[in-house]
Structure 1
Amino acid sequence: MAEQSDLPEVFATDAAETTATTTVDVGAGKHVEPELLGLAPYQWVSLSMVVLLLIAFFGAKVHKTIAGGLDNKIAAIRDQLEEAKTLRAEAEALRDEYASKIANAEKDAEAMLDNARVEADAIVAKAEADTKATIARRKQMAEDKIAAAERDAIQDLKARAADAATAASRKLIAEEMGAESDRAMVDSTIAQL
């Protein structure tokens, strides 16, 4: 008999002979993916994700939570849009108000400028009238002073002339009249009384 080896014995049967095929590959070894019920592992992962999502949407009613969250978000966005419309309307109203205020301010400024011109013209006219009146008053005062000075000068001149005439008369009388002529003059004056 031949030597026995440690290898197990293989018995070939008729059924095994028909299905057993030998494939000889001369290159790299071929990797065979494991399969369960004819599905590859990625297919099992996809199938389990579909089942999980179906359970989440229909069993746990996650779709209502998601829809409620989306509805809340939509409502918040609508509120923000309404607030933005309100703010825009307020801003437009303020813009119109300030535009009218600016127009009114320009009209007021023009009216104030016209009023200032009229007042300035009135002040200039009054100043001219006051100046003319002041000049007339001062002229009259100067004429009055000149007339007063003339009167004073005439009176002074008259007084000097009278003084000179009196002095000359004294001198003449003193020279031409003596004591006897004085007596005769006094007697004649007394007789006239």
Structure 2
Amino acid sequence: MDTFWVGVAFFIFIGILAYFGVPKAIVTALDSRGEKVAQELAEARRLRVEAEKLLAEYEAKRKAAESEAASIIAAANDEAKRLAAEAEAKLNDFVTRRTKSAEDKIALAESQAEAEVRAAAADAATKAAELIIRAQVGSKTGEALFAAGLTEVKAKLN
């Protein structure tokens, strides 16, 4: 019999709950919770799509940056090669100019040495001629001959 009264009490309890609208409140609460979950899922989907767009955008930027870096490196390599070639050309030009300058200095020194040797030979020849002429010819005639010969030798040597 206890079970009967428990059953009766249970149905009375269910009736009281129905009278106060508890099942409707539970359904409303479940519906609102379901809507909230649906909204959160929609927000999560929207955020996922947005994150995928950002990821694609950053991937594109990364690829662009990599290609730009590659082009900068290529340009730097080209510039380095150009500068090396330019430096080599300048060095070759410098060596050529220095060699030419050294050759010119050597040629000048040779011509100066040759002129000094000629001058020394002319002085020696002049002195020897003077001594010979003084020894053989008299003083006034010898001096006149010597002066004429000296001007002639100087004219020919210079």
Normalising by structure 1, we get a TM-score of: 0.62
Partner of 2:154: none
Task: Kindly provide the amino acid, as one letter, of the partner of residue 153 in structure 1.
Answer: A
Query: How many percent of aligned residue pairs carry the same amino acid?
Result: 35
Task: Give, in whole Å, the separation in 1 of the partners of 2:51 and 2:132.
Answer: 115
Task: Give, in whole Å, the separation in 2 of the partners of 1:155 and 1:74.
Answer: 119
Partner of 2:13: 52
Task: Give, in whole Å, the separation in 2 of the partners of 1:179 and 1:149.
Answer: 41
Higher radius of gyration, 1 or 2: 1
> Measured at CA, do residues 143 and 53 of structure 1 come closer, stay the same or move farther in structure 2, by a change above 3 Å?
same
1:88 CA displacement: 0.7
> Measured at CA, do residues 149 and 52 of structure 1 come closer, stay the same or move farther in structure 2, by a change above 3 Å?
same
> Measured at CA, do residues 66 and 154 of structure 1 come closer, stay the same or move farther in structure 2, by a change above 3 Å?
same
> Measured at CA, do residues 147 and 55 of structure 1 come closer, stay the same or move farther in structure 2, by a change above 3 Å?
same
| Candidates 108, 120, 126, aligned match of 1:160 | 120
Name structure 1 gaps, 5 residues minimum: 1-38
Over residues 51-97 of structure 1, what are the superposed CA-to-partner deviations in whole Å (9 max), with x where a residue is unaligned? 112211x2211123222221221122122112211211111111211
| Higher relative helix content | 2
Task: Give, in whole Å, the separation in 2 of the partners of 1:53 and 1:166.
Answer: 158
Task: Give, in whole Å, the separation in 2 of the partners of 1:79 and 1:167.
Answer: 128
1:162 CA displacement: 3.3
Partner of 1:43: 4
CA RMSD of aligned residues (A): 2.7
Task: Give, in whole Å, the separation in 1 of the partners of 2:14 and 2:132.
Answer: 162
> Measured at CA, do residues 70 and 174 of structure 1 come closer, stay the same or move farther in structure 2, by a change above 3 Å?
farther
Partner of 1:107: 67
| Candidates 52, 62, 75, aligned match of 2:22 | 62
Name structure 2 gaps, 5 residues minimum: 149-158
Normalising by structure 2, we get a TM-score of: 0.73
| Candidates 99, 102, 107, aligned match of 1:142 | 102
Partner of 1:18: none
2:36 matched to 1:84? no
The aligned length equals 146
> Measured at CA, do residues 133 and 45 of structure 1 come closer, stay the same or move farther in structure 2, by a change above 3 Å?
same
Task: Compare 70-79 and 100-109 and name the one that shifted more.
Answer: 100-109
Task: Give, in whole Å, the separation in 1 of the partners of 2:8 and 2:40.
Answer: 42
Task: Kindly provide the amino acid, as one letter, of the partner of residue 23 in structure 2.
Answer: H
> Measured at CA, do residues 65 and 131 of structure 1 come closer, stay the same or move farther in structure 2, by a change above 3 Å?
same
Task: Give, in whole Å, the separation in 2 of the partners of 1:152 and 1:50.
Answer: 141
Task: Kindly provide the amino acid, as one letter, of the partner of residue 101 in structure 1.
Answer: K
1:152 CA displacement: 2.3
